[in-house]
Amino acid sequence: MFKRIIANFNPNKLSWKTVAERFAGSPRDWIPQTPALRAPRISRSWMGPLLITLSALVGWLAFVGAEGEDGSVTFGLFIGSVSIVLMAWSFVLSLRPRILEPVFGGLDKMYKSHRWSGTLAVVAMYLHTSVEAEIEGGIEGASESLADAAEDLAGTGQTFLYILVGLSLIRWIPYRYWRLTHKFLGIPFLFASFHFFTSEKPYANDSGWGWYFGAIMVLGALAYFGRVVGYDMMIQGKHYQVAEVTRYGKITELGLAPVGGKLKHHPAQFATIKLQIKGMSEPHTFTIASAPHEPNLRFFIRDLGDWTGRLQEMDLLGADVYVEGPFGEFAPMPKKPAPTYWIAGGVGITPFLSMTETLSPVELDDRPVLMYCVRSREDAMAFAALERAAADGRIRLEWFESSAGRRFNSTTFAELVAGKNLQGAHLAACGPSGLIQTVKNVAAEWGVSYVETESFDFRGGFGPDLSLTVEELIGRSGEK
């Protein structure tokens, strides 16, 4: 393939200089971003991560007192069980169970826990294999020959897992291929579980601890097959068709008409769409821009990668789409009346647009203040709908146009609030990560300890996102 890429390379379309610059990325791509330390906000969203942590740590009690040739092997055996538990949780969370959303604070934060569980499981596996954890006088889980075979499989699975996780962390692989690598992550887990079950341990497999870890392994395996076979192959979601397509530069607005039952959602929630076009059916997640009472679903999709780039050039009218959801706990409006400020950047306007359509006209001081950060208002999405909402008295609309020299920062925010007391104010922000961090910094200056946010970086990773560049090179290699 590499020879075909070189042979078909067209410098008029994509120069080697451009490729090199994209591979180099920016310092922000390579340097981990550490958020400012602030007082933690205790909420029920702590319950999910706490449950994961406790379910892993409680296993220590199963291995206390375990001895090997050179002394205690409690830690080595325990850390192996931590790897199993965390991998199982990672698969469970990949199912996107709605019942767990509240205790994680929404699907976006659930996916962060999914990624951290998987990453720490790899670290735990490495520690387990780096220490001597051969117990003396333990209880056999199976015959010696079967246990040895399972240990060999676990070693092979470990190498396979390192490769797959490495591919997941580096954002060079186009999304459709990245998703394919994820489908194989269950194999190392099954091998590790087999080894864990058959190995010699301080307890018997039919004991209480045996049932505890056995249930976790079975749950993890079922979640893996449920994700790969159930969700990816069998469960489609609600059937829709593309009824409208409008393009604003690099942004595509899709209007989807239901074919049968309609998806029921709350304002500011999001959904996963699966476009039934060859090469485009992989699921992608976007915020629902339409209000719950509207007959059609609307999505704004920005060209940010390989799939969204191809979407820009396609004739989509009439195409079938399956919509899965809704998801999300993002709350633009406070539960109790309070001064409300919304900060949006780019396609981050969509949750606020959905909420705006449900509001009623109120007095000026009671309206949510929407600060929309764009290059220019002429290029903004849903310009007419936002101006109409402001004219109707549903929101107070403030434009932050970079082309006019007005950007959201501490100074411009101070001018906007005009010395008001923001104690107890509700701030909600959605947009690029740089804007979100700026909002959090400004909020901290004004004594606002919490900003309602939502992140769609479900993939995560390290380094610059080169998926579009690789997609362009791969696609070009097939041109004649």
Task: Please give the residue that has the higher pLDDT: either 166 or 9.
Answer: 166
Question: What is residue 322's predicted lDDT score, i.e. its pLDDT?
Answer: 92
Does residue 258 have a cis peptide bond before it, meaning omega lies within 30 degrees of 0?
A: no
User: Cβ of 461: how many Cβ atoms within 10 Å?
Assistant: 18
pLDDT at 393 exceeding the cut of 60: yes
For the chain, list the domains and their CATH numbers.
2-25+464-477 (no CATH), 30-234 (no CATH), 238-327 (2.40.30.10), 340-453 (3.40.50.80)
The pLDDT of residue 90: 92
Please give the average per-residue pLDDT across 356-382, as a whole number.
84
Single-letter code of the amino acid located at 339: P
Please state, for a pLDDT cut of 70, what percent of the chain lies above it: 82
Whether pLDDT at 330 is above 90: no
Spatial distance between the Cα atoms of 105 and 86, rounded to a whole number of angstroms: 19
Q: What's the confidence (pLDDT) of residue 37?
A: 46
At residue 408, does pLDDT exceed 80? yes
**Mean pLDDT score, 5-12:** 44
Q: Is residue 47 pLDDT above 70, yes or no?
A: yes
In the prediction, which pLDDT does 457 show?
58
Q: What pLDDT does 7 receive? A: 46
Among candidate residues 371, 365, 310, 320, the one with its CA nearest the CA of residue 341 = 371
Residue 340: φ, ψ to 5°:
-120, 130
Average pLDDT over residues 328-352: 86
What pLDDT does residue 9 have?
43
**Banded model confidence at residue 239, pLDDT cuts 50, 70, 90:** very high
More confident residue, 171 or 7: 171
Confidence of residue 285 (pLDDT cuts 50, 70, 90): confident
Predicted local confidence at residue 441, as pLDDT: 85
Which residues on adjacent β-strands are paired with residue 273? 284, 323
Q: What is the mean pLDDT of residues 107-127?
A: 87
Q: How far is CA 244 from CA 79, 319, 365, 419, in A?
A: 53, 10, 37, 44
pLDDT for residue 66 is more than 80: yes
- The region of weakest confidence among 22-26, 32-36, 46-50, 424-428 is 32-36
pLDDT higher than threshold 90 for residue 462: no
Q: Residues 290-305: pLDDT tens digits?
A: 888 888 999 988 877 6
Phi, psi of 376 (to 5 degrees): -155, 150
Note the pLDDT of residue 50.
93
Among 153-167, 221-235, 341-355, 436-450, which is the least confidently predicted range? 221-235
DSSP 62-115: HHTT-EETTEE-HHHHHHHHHHHHHHHHHHHHHT--GGGHHHHTSHHHHHHHHH
DSSP 3-state of 274 = strand
pLDDT of residue 216: 96
Structure confidence at residue 52 as a pLDDT band (50, 70, 90) = very high
pTM of the shown model: 0.72
pLDDT of 309 higher than 70:
yes
User: What was the pLDDT predicted at 357?
Assistant: 86
Q: What pLDDT band is residue 335 in, cutting at 50, 70 and 90?
A: confident
Is residue 281 within 8 Å of 275, Cβ to Cβ? yes
Across 372-381, 389-398, 419-428, 454-463, which has the greatest mean pLDDT?
389-398
Q: Is 90 exceeded by the pLDDT of residue 138?
A: no
At 312-326, the pLDDT tens digits run 888 889 899 999 888
Q: Among 13-17, 402-406, 447-451, which stretch is predicted with the lowest mean pLDDT?
A: 13-17
Give me the pLDDT at residue 21, please.
62
- Residue 194 is predicted with a pLDDT of 93
- Inter-residue contact 428 to 330 (CB < 8 Å): yes
The pLDDT value recorded for residue 5 is 40
Q: What is the mean pLDDT of the chain?
A: 81
Supply the pLDDT for residue 301.
85
What pLDDT is attached to residue 232? Answer: 66
